[in-house]
Every structure is written in structure tokens, then in C-alpha cells.
Structure 1
Amino acid sequence: MADVDIATRAPESDAQEGQTASGIAGDTKVDQGAASMGEITKYNDIDVYVSKPQDYPHTSGKLLLLLTGGTGVHSTNNQLQADKYAEEGFLVVMPDQFAGDPAPTTTTSTAPAEAHPSIIEQVKLGVASVAKSFTIDMWLARHTPEKVLPILHAVISSVKEEYADAVSSGGGIYAVGYCFGAKYVLLLAAELEKDVVSGQRAPETQAEEGMVKQGPQIKCGAIAHGTQITVSELAGVSVPMCVVAVKEDSLFPDHVREEGVEAMQKNGLEHEVKVYEGVPHGFAVLGDYADEGIVGKQKDAFGQMLGWLKAH
């Protein structure tokens, strides 16, 4: 997440253009009058945004776990994204993966770009870039699988009881993940050793011999423009998975995606992959994009992910 040029109008970005709609770092503007229809509640002392189908509980919707990018559960855009799935019949649960610590914002120069910036301006931009990179790296270091997975499992345990009807209706839990959240959809879609699930050990480290495995925790998943994803995480998925990606995305490199998809194919995993060109990282989450081409592809990505979930 250290790239200075990534998705300055996308919800995953830590750049701001003036006052944001929700006050959360990086949240892009939403249409005037736009308001989310769900509510924030707590499960196991964890903030969770819940958005229900209009006719629930008369008609039980399938339970959908939505994992956000760095802007988190209080982002208006993320809440509206959850509402879109609720409007399609899903009971959406969107947990605060960051324990009240969403991605920070750091100020960079807003002066008009010069064709040939002075040496001093180049130095200023360089310093801002380093500061921004350091700030985001420190934030990421606070939110590792050892910290995030126990939060997710605590929420899953609670909602399985609270919304047992929705879990039963769908035959399990569905999940979508954007940016940061995409990595965790993949982890929830895999068998993990018990000490990884409990946060006692990082997924990439060596397990003790004979360690009991758990999972997967979901029955079907869809991810969009993931960050920090590894080939082994893609290869470890054991439930049907849909992947939305951005061509030449520095946060989800082509070679990682290609090698991971190749492993899925070898494992005989049911999957769907679509790579979008001419869009920024983060494009699939609702935001204020002036470019109609981006808006159109955002709708296409939502349709792809929604269609995948409904088909399973």
C-alpha cells in the first residue's frame, strides 16, 4: 500500500480530496442525500454493520460476510456497498476487522503538478511519499492475520447463532472481500491449523506436526482487487471462488494472480476470474468517480460477484 499513485478516488486509498462523507480516512464522496439503511451493533464486543433484506425475517436471506478495505465498517461507502447486497436478498454482516483503527490518512502535496518540478519540490514530494509509506506500513503491522482472524471467528461464531435461519437458508456462510478484506476471505475459504485460527501463529509459518485443522468457514466466496495476497493463499482455497482483479495492479500483481489461478485449476477448484483494464485499485467499491468508464466497470464487477454468489 505504499504506492503514491494508487486509487486516489478509491475507498482503499489513504488520500483525501477535501472533506469526506463519513469522516473516515480515504472514504470518497457519496451522492448527496445517500444514507445507509443498516445499523451498527456489537457481537462479542466487536462493532458490526448489519444490513437486512427488506422482507426479512418473513423471507430468510442467505448470510453474507462482507470484509472491507482499510476504510472499515464506519465508511459510508462500505455501508452502502453492504446495502446493495441486502437489496439483492442477502443478510449482510460487515465486521470491524480493525478494532476501531481504520487505515490512516497522511497529507501529501495538493499543489498542481508541474511539468518540471523544482529540486525542492521533488524533495518535498519524496519526503511525503516516505512518510505516507511508513504510516501505512505501521498500520498494516498492527493488523496481521494473528489479530484479524480471531476477530472474524468471534463474529462468525455469534452470527451463526443470531442468524441461524439465514445460515441454514444458504447452506452455510457466503463471503465477499474488497482490498484488505479479500485476503481474509481466502483464509476463511481454506483449512487452517487451529493455532492459526486462534491467532497464535501466522499462516505462513511452520505448523507443529499433527496440528488439528479447522475450516473452511465459508461455503462460497468472491474477492475484488485484493492486497497482500500470496500465491499459497489462492492455492489453499477449498470452496468456489470468484476473483475480480485489476490489470497491472501493484497491490495484487499479475504474476501472483496467474500462479494462484493456475494452482486453483490444478486443484480442480471451481473458480471464475475476470481482469479489468483502465480502472484503479479499489474501483469495485462505491465511490465518487467522474469517469463513466470506471462507473460502468464497477457495475460490471458487482454484477459478476453477485451472480457468482447467487449461483452457489
Structure 2
Amino acid sequence: MADNDVATRAPESDAQEASTAPAEQSVFPGDTPAQAGPSMGEHCTTDRPTPSGEIPTGELSKLGGIDVYIAKPSDYPHSPSKLLLLLTGGTGLKSTNNQLQADKFASEGYLVIMPDQFEGNPAPNSVDMTKIDEHPSFLEQVKLKTAETFKAFLIDMWLAYHTPEKVLPILHKVIEAAKDEFADAVANGGGIYGVGYCFGAKYILILAGEHPDTAVWGQAPPEGEEQGVVKRAPLIKAGAVAHGTMVTKEDLESVKSPIYIAAVEDDPLFSEAEVLTPGRKALEKNSIEHEIQTFSGVPHGFAVLGDYEDARIKQSQAQAFGQMLGWIQGH
């Protein structure tokens, strides 16, 4: 594990404050709820400003009946490509920044599939902080607090709906359709690669793991049948994730594919003590190739494409992208 101390804490780190969601009911046997504390922050529900002059070049399409954004290398299919599944935070498919993130991986030779994990229902938007005065009046403070409380309630309701039981079958449909539609890219890469940010990081970890046959797609076993008799192998060849949310230690304990993790120091959304440390020990015990990089002084969500005023956060963002890219290129 390497530490990155090139950035200092910025005001954007306040975005780590979040609501507490109800305990998540996992479809995986023996799984525990996600760590206590915040469940989702501003980083998962609001985009940073889009870098000036950048416009997405991919296309919206469908795979397996699911809406997807597809970004292809400029010379595809004339030159070989590899298939990459990109899973986003709560801002979802229509986010310009997420589409640009997919384009960046495509420019490095990957055929990128970014599915709509939320079926047209991205996370509730945050309060627009640009419209709040630097020194708000008492009434404005009350209005802001009320809006924040209401948003926290909406996010809790949103998370209660978008569970593995809902999300995994969507990903299954996309993966199966992609294997047919882009069989050349899958064959060229010897499998499917995956990268995930925030909400999507949990699902890359799940897809990189070995799970009971019925549970892996978010389905309960038929009545009267024992769950977990047959296990399904990982669906991705190698994965890279950044600042996951709602991740459990069991997600990491089940990982079987090589995995890279970009974490944020003292991150309440990805607890060192409750998730990352036991997860690291499990990866070591299971002899799973892995790398965990901890970034200090940056906000949770920093690796998602978007503009920051602090040049040092920009540098960390670029560094995280380079390391995630390098990891999947190396596998």
C-alpha cells in the first residue's frame, strides 16, 4: 500500500457529511450491513463543474434492454479493443462528467459500457450551494437546514430501493448482452474489466467475487432450496474502484479477481477500521492480487471527473485515474 500526501484538506471535503441510511439487507449469506455512519454524500448525488470545453463523444444505446452509454476507441473496430464495464456514483448515466469519464478510458483503447444502474432514477440532487450567501441570515440558515434534512430523507428512500436485488439483475443483463454484441473485445481482453466509483464501486467488488449462484444476481433461492450450494465465478477479469460507498467487509472477503482500491484517508463512507482493514487482511489471506492506495486531504468522490479549484486535488484526481488505468492495463 502506498500513501499519497500531495493534497491538503479543501472546503470540498465538507461534502463527506451525509445522512445515515437504514441498515442494508444483503442478499449474500452472512453479510453484515454497511458500516455505521454516513451512507452517501454530496459526491454521489452532485457533479463537480464539467471541465471547460469538454463534450462527450460516446452514444446512448441499449444492451439487454437496459439503457447504456457506449464509448469506443476512435479506431474501433479496425484495431483490437478490450471491454470495460464502468459503474458510476449516484449521478448516473446522464451525467456529463460520467460520460466524459467513460470517454477517457475509451481514448486509452477500451470499449466502455456504462449502464444505467438506476433505471432512469439517479440519486436526488443536492442543495445548490452556489446560491447560498457566504453569511446567510438566520432564516436562510433554517431554509438550508430544512432542505438538507429533506434531501437526506430522499436519499435514504432512494438507497432503500436501489439494493443489490435491484441492481445486480440489471448488470447481469448488460454483461450477457455485451458478451454477444462485443464478443471481439471480450475475447481480445480475455474477459471483461471493470472500474467503479462511489455507489458503483460496491458492485465492481461484487462482480469481482465468488458468490452463491442465486445471490450473485440479487435473487433469493426458490422456496425450499438451500442458498449457496453452487457458486458462480467472478464476472470480471480485473477491477479498479475508487472511494466506495455502502461497501461491506464481506464484499472484499469474496473478491477473487485482481483489484485496485483508491481510498480516502479518514473516510466515514469507507471505514478503515470496519471495512478496509479487515478487507485487506482477507485479500492477503486469500492470496488475491491487490493494491490499496490511500489519498489524504481530498474529498470522498475526488476521483470522479470534475473540476476543482484546488490544483492539488486535480493532481490527485489525475493520479487516481492513471493508477486505475494502469492496473487494468497490467492485467
Instruction: Say yes or no: TM over 0.5.
Output: yes
Q: Deviations over 1:75-124 (max 9, x none)?
A: 11001101111111111111000000011114377533559x85x66654
* 1:303 aligned onto 2:303: no
Equivalent residues in 2 for 1:269-288, closer than 5 Å: 269-288=288-307
- Equivalent in the alignment of 1:91: 111
* 1:112 aligned onto 2:130: no
Equivalent residues in 2 for 1:24-39, closer than 5 Å: 26-39=46-59
**Contact residue 38 and residue 83 of structure 1 kept, 8 A:** yes
CA distance in 1, matches of 2:297, 2:238: 28
Give, in angstroms, the shift of residue 215 of structure 1. 2.3
Of the three residues 59, 67, 78, the one matched with 2:98 is 78
**Contact residue 68 and residue 177 of structure 1 kept, 8 A:** yes
**Contact residue 231 and residue 257 of structure 1 kept, 8 A:** yes
CA distance in 1, matches of 2:153, 2:298: 26
Equivalent residues in 2 for 1:119-130, closer than 5 Å: 123-130=142-149
Of the three residues 205, 208, 223, the one matched with 1:186 is 205
- Equivalent in the alignment of 2:234: 216
Q: Deviations over 1:46-89 (max 9, x none)?
A: 11111111111111211100000000011110011011111111
* 1:69–1:232 Cα change, 3 Å: same
- Equivalent in the alignment of 1:19: none
Of the three residues 254, 260, 263, the one matched with 1:242 is 260
- Equivalent in the alignment of 2:82: 62
* 1:100 aligned onto 2:109: no
Structure 2: which amino acid aligns with 1:234?
L
Normalising to structure 1: TM-score of the pair?
0.87
Give, in angstroms, the shift of residue 209 of structure 1. 5.2
The unaligned stretches of length 5 or more in structure 1 are 16-23
Structure 1: which amino acid aligns with 2:108?
E
Percent sequence identity is 54
CA distance in 2, matches of 1:79, 1:98: 15
Normalising to structure 2: TM-score of the pair?
0.82
CA distance in 1, matches of 2:168, 2:85: 13
- Equivalent in the alignment of 2:159: 140
**Contact residue 64 and residue 176 of structure 2 kept, 8 A:** no
Q: How many corresponding residue pairs?
A: 292
Of the three residues 39, 50, 54, the one matched with 2:70 is 50
Of the three residues 281, 291, 315, the one matched with 1:262 is 281
**Contact residue 240 and residue 270 of structure 1 kept, 8 A:** yes
* 1:232–1:63 Cα change, 3 Å: same
CA distance in 1, matches of 2:219, 2:51: 43
Give, in angstroms, the shift of residue 210 of structure 1. 5.5
Question: SS of 2:94's equivalent?
Answer: coil
Question: SS of 2:214's equivalent?
Answer: helix
- Equivalent in the alignment of 2:188: 169
- Equivalent in the alignment of 1:21: none
Of the three residues 15, 19, 22, the one matched with 1:6 is 15
Give, in angstroms, the shift of residue 264 of structure 1. 0.7
The unaligned stretches of length 5 or more in structure 2 are 1-12, 18-39
* 1:25–1:284 Cα change, 3 Å: closer
CA distance in 2, matches of 1:278, 1:69: 21
Question: SS of 1:229's equivalent?
Answer: coil
Give, in angstroms, the shift of residue 199 of structure 1. 2.4
**Contact residue 37 and residue 83 of structure 1 kept, 8 A:** yes
CA distance in 2, matches of 1:54, 1:185: 26
**Contact residue 193 and residue 236 of structure 2 kept, 8 A:** yes
Give, in angstroms, the shift of residue 14 of structure 1. 4.4
* 1:108–1:170 Cα change, 3 Å: closer
CA distance in 2, matches of 1:232, 1:58: 42
CA distance in 1, matches of 2:122, 2:89: 9
Structure 1: which amino acid aligns with 2:48?
T
